[in-house]
Structure 1
Amino acid sequence: MTETRADTATAGSWRELLGPKHLGASTVLAGGVALYATNEFLTISLLPSAVAEIGGHRFYAWVTTVYLVASVVAATTVGAVLSRLGPRRAYLAGLTVFGAGSLLCAIAPTMEFLLLGRTVQGAAGGLLAGLGYAVINAALPQSLWVRASALVSAMWGVGTLLGPAGGGLFAQFGSWRWAFGVLVILTAAMAVLVPVALPGRAATGTEAAALRIPVWSLLLLGAAALVISVAGIPRNPVLTAVLLAGGLGLIAAFLAVDRVRAAQALSVLPPSAFRPGPLKWMYLTLGLLMAATMVDMYVPLFGQRLAHLEPVVAGFLGVALAVGWTSGELVSASVDRRRAVVRIVAVAPLVMAIGLGSAALSVRPDASVGVTIGWALALLVTGTGIGMAWPHLSAWAMGTVQDPSTEGATAAAAINTVQLICGAFGAGLAGVIVNAQHDDVSAARWMFAVFSALAAVTAVAAYRATRPAPQSGSSSS
């Protein structure tokens, strides 16, 4: 582990990050992720109204699936696009395409047209979400990386809060198209800010690199995302499990191919991830923590069925995890002492495990108000666990590569790729568990219990992620 992970002598502050000098860059970096996350949850909330108007109920699940698959595929190209275009033009390209996709959704006359718009949105959103991490090391000094990572990832919590509320509001007034129209306006406003907020090219590279897309890695990871996403559609648990296994096989093939292509600078993961050192464990920890949060998909459902909550109230029960995540990382990002940071990262998965385990133990039919509040607190603890570790692991991943000038952007962009693909796998795994049970109580209890175990096992990866990088010539991994 290098000293750059938590150098207290050079640690920046929230005031510096959000001050006049860096406010524009911080707004763009966070805003791109906020657009992606808000759009994801907003569409889920207003989709019933859209289907009621334009039809296409048989394609209901595909509205989310095409968005996710396009996002994962686009996320694999972030490093190449950033090297070729530089931060400013890369963001302008992403925002332009995202605005066009949002416009297509707003004017969609049929479900097929809406799916086209969602595919375009997903491709641009995956690029924007990846750039949110990848441009940190080009637009901001290293002393602000931890806080910038916390700010960027906090936008997922913001999206979880604003998306369902905004989508529900537009749907309530029968104006679902205007929800996408507002996204077009917000995208245009952010595009105006980009030229004055971001550098034309990273300080480490003055020449535009050739646009080299990792095609084989892209195809394998895209296929994995598709298979894993489709796994959540059927109600047959055996078929879902088979699809998940197929997705894991494709991910294994992706890692094998990416390892070979890394030597040719044509990989999604940075070459340092395949060398001895903690980087691979950082990505694994981030991915497993992300997968464990996907219990959130079923919280509103169980809130309605087990606690008999109204849909709106059940939806806000699911927000508890996002609130814990956001608050946990904003507080954790202010910790600068290296020893304290290492301990926080090491214990974070266990905090998640405790939260999920508490939720499993408290599941019961006809839950009282007190029990429901207990669920919310357990989810709050769960979110706090991932929030404690996320900004530090993200900053470490950007600073642990052997050659930051050539690997830094790839390492940062890979954070988003890992987050997306592991989130899809977590959602599919949750679907297998829930669909395999015959009653809601068993489904909820087993889901929370299995994901609690997953979070606990992640503590091993987190421990390895905090170990020092080996000295040159060492063979340890």
Structure 2
Amino acid sequence: MSIGQDVGSWRELGRHTSTSVVLAGGVLVGAITIYVAASLLPTAVQDIGGRPLYAWTMTAFLVAEVVATMVVGQTLFRFGGKGSYLIGFGVFAAGSVLCAVSPSMPVLLVGRGIQGLGAGLLTGLGFALIHSALPPRLWSRGSALISAMFGVGNFAGPALGGFSAQFGSWRSAFVVLAVVAAALAVFVPRALPRGGRPAQAPPVPVVSLSLIVGATGAVSMAGILSGTLAMAAFIALGLVLVAAFLATEKRAVASVLPGSVYRRGSRLRWIYLTIMVLASGVSVETFLPLFGQRLGGLPPAAAGFFAAALSLGWSVSQLVSASARETRRLVLAGPACLAAGFVVLGLLQTEQPSLPVVLAWLPVLFFGGMGIGIAMPHLSVAAMTSAPDGEGGKAAAGIATILTMSTAFGAAVAGLLVNLGGPSVLTSARWLLFGFAAISTLGLFTARRAA
């Protein structure tokens, strides 16, 4: 089956500028916030202490984000599109302010959790309201723009955090995020159409929500442990909880994902799995600065730029590929490009590589990121159009949940692979890159079923 569609132009999307700014901006602030803390936390710890709680800043954010993405439907029904966005930006700004004034690490963790709630709500709303805020012919363009914000966030987050830490003012990064959220909230009243509420209040999937939060917490915990056996145990626990989540969802009246996902012959399940495989590949970026400094001999700033090449490839190719009408080949090529990029980059990892070899990392990373970008917007549209009547909005909101879970699971698996290769940095690099090449290869199967 082809997943081609009638595609509007970027100029046509430009007539919906305010809407695009709100939808994309909400996703962008959340994406930046995931990575901004990694660059400034070493400086923050020197200021307020709390080194034993260092790694929990990511866990608190991710778990809260997962919770928020799952209550988007309830929020929309109660407050509508405009009210929900104002709540999302308000909660995110409040969490950012709390982080900025934190006198201690426990307070910073609370702020990160509040940020995660706001970011999860904004991310879920971004995908959910494409379905109602834009005409169907612009769904591909809108999905490309919104999904590209994850790549931009991966690039801008470390830059904002590193810049703030460089000048000894880590708190200013959180102030900037709060100001940006407040500025975006100004656009909301005129950006979104009236309505945007579901026809009826979706029930709260309490059991599914508890299981998926537990799975995210377990996998996030695995990513911050140093012992390989302990990491493997928590990943196994996370997988068991995911299996329980799927079993519960299949029987539940109140489900997180559309009911069609669990029906025999469902195409939507393969679309979601392909999105998960592609999005998890970005987790490799967490360790690329380490490899750039230790193996490539790069200064920190240059190593950070190399790490952002994957996200840059994602963002640029996504905006270009949104123009395609016949998209089946792009969906199939996405996992292949990502897997090939990881394999080639793994082969280029050597002790004390020459400068030309190190420079070759850049186009290879960019090419791998293109694999995500050429497929992601069309998978998002396919998710919305493959769901039966009445489930389009829920299928769109489910994309945010899938992306959030991919971030948590990908980060934990990346940490496990790096630890398996330790203490050698070279061996760690090869374990990580070849391991994610294998994961990306699984996407060849899921993409074929999706397309």
How would you bin the TM-score normalised by the shorter chain? Answer: over 0.9
**8 Å contact from structure 2 (residues 73, 201) kept in 1:** no
**Residues 252-271 of structure 1, C-alpha deviation per residue, up to 9 Å, x if partnerless?**
1111111212xx2x211011
1:249 aligned onto 2:256:
no
Q: Which residue of 2 aligns with 1:165?
A: 159
TM-score by length of structure 2 reads 0.97
1:445 aligned onto 2:407:
no
**1:18 & 1:180 partners in 2: Cα distance?**
30
Residue in structure 1 matching 2:395, options 411, 417, 421: 411
* Superposition deviation, residue 180 in structure 1: 1.2
**1:372 & 1:201 partners in 2: Cα distance?**
52
Q: Which residue of 2 aligns with 1:240?
A: 231
Q: In the alignment, residue 80 of structure 1 is paired with which amino acid?
A: Q
- Give the paired residue count: 449
Q: Which residue of 1 aligns with 2:133?
A: 139
1:17 aligned onto 2:13:
yes
Q: Which residue of 2 aligns with 1:66?
A: 60
1:55 aligned onto 2:57:
no
**1:157 & 1:213 partners in 2: Cα distance?**
31
Please list, as runs of the form range in 1=range in 2, the aligned pairs for 1:133-282 lying within 5 A after superposition. Answer: 133-202=127-196, 209-210=200-201, 212-261=203-252, 264=253, 266-275=254-263, 276-282=265-271
**8 Å contact from structure 1 (residues 282, 393) kept in 2:** yes
Q: In the alignment, residue 442 of structure 1 is paired with which amino acid?
A: T
* Superposition deviation, residue 200 in structure 1: 3.2
**2:405 & 2:225 partners in 1: Cα distance?**
19
**8 Å contact from structure 1 (residues 76, 268) kept in 2:** yes
**2:431 & 2:34 partners in 1: Cα distance?**
27
Percent identity between the aligned chains? 46
**8 Å contact from structure 2 (residues 339, 437) kept in 1:** yes
1:430 aligned onto 2:414:
yes
Change (3 A) 1:394 1:288: same
Q: In the alignment, residue 272 of structure 1 is paired with which amino acid?
A: S
**Residues 190-222 of structure 1, C-alpha deviation per residue, up to 9 Å, x if partnerless?**
1111011012312x85x6x33632111111110
Partner of 2:361: helix, strand, or coil? helix
**1:99 & 1:420 partners in 2: Cα distance?**
20
**1:397 & 1:83 partners in 2: Cα distance?**
21
* Superposition deviation, residue 85 in structure 1: 2.2
Partner of 1:218: helix, strand, or coil? helix
Change (3 A) 1:292 1:184: closer
1:316 aligned onto 2:305:
yes
**8 Å contact from structure 1 (residues 84, 211) kept in 2:** no
Q: Which residue of 2 aligns with 1:7?
A: 5
**8 Å contact from structure 1 (residues 78, 410) kept in 2:** no
**1:53 & 1:153 partners in 2: Cα distance?**
35
Q: Which residue of 2 aligns with 1:344?
A: 330
**1:178 & 1:450 partners in 2: Cα distance?**
37
Q: Which residue of 1 aligns with 2:339?
A: 353
**2:109 & 2:431 partners in 1: Cα distance?**
34
1:380 aligned onto 2:366:
yes
**1:210 & 1:446 partners in 2: Cα distance?**
46
**1:446 & 1:39 partners in 2: Cα distance?**
28
TM-score by length of structure 1 reads 0.92
**8 Å contact from structure 2 (residues 420, 431) kept in 1:** no
Q: Which residue of 1 aligns with 2:448?
A: 463
Q: Which residue of 2 aligns with 1:401?
A: 387
* Superposition deviation, residue 423 in structure 1: 2.0
Q: In the alignment, residue 224 of structure 1 is paired with which amino acid?
A: A
Give the ranges of 4+ consecutive aligned residues of structure 1 lying more than 6 Å apart after TM superposition: none
Please list, as runs of the form range in 1=range in 2, the aligned pairs for 1:111-122 lying within 5 A after superposition. Answer: 111-122=105-116
**1:42 & 1:437 partners in 2: Cα distance?**
27
Q: In the alignment, residue 427 of structure 1 is paired with which amino acid?
A: A
* Superposition deviation, residue 281 in structure 1: 0.2
Q: Which residue of 2 aligns with 1:367?
A: 353
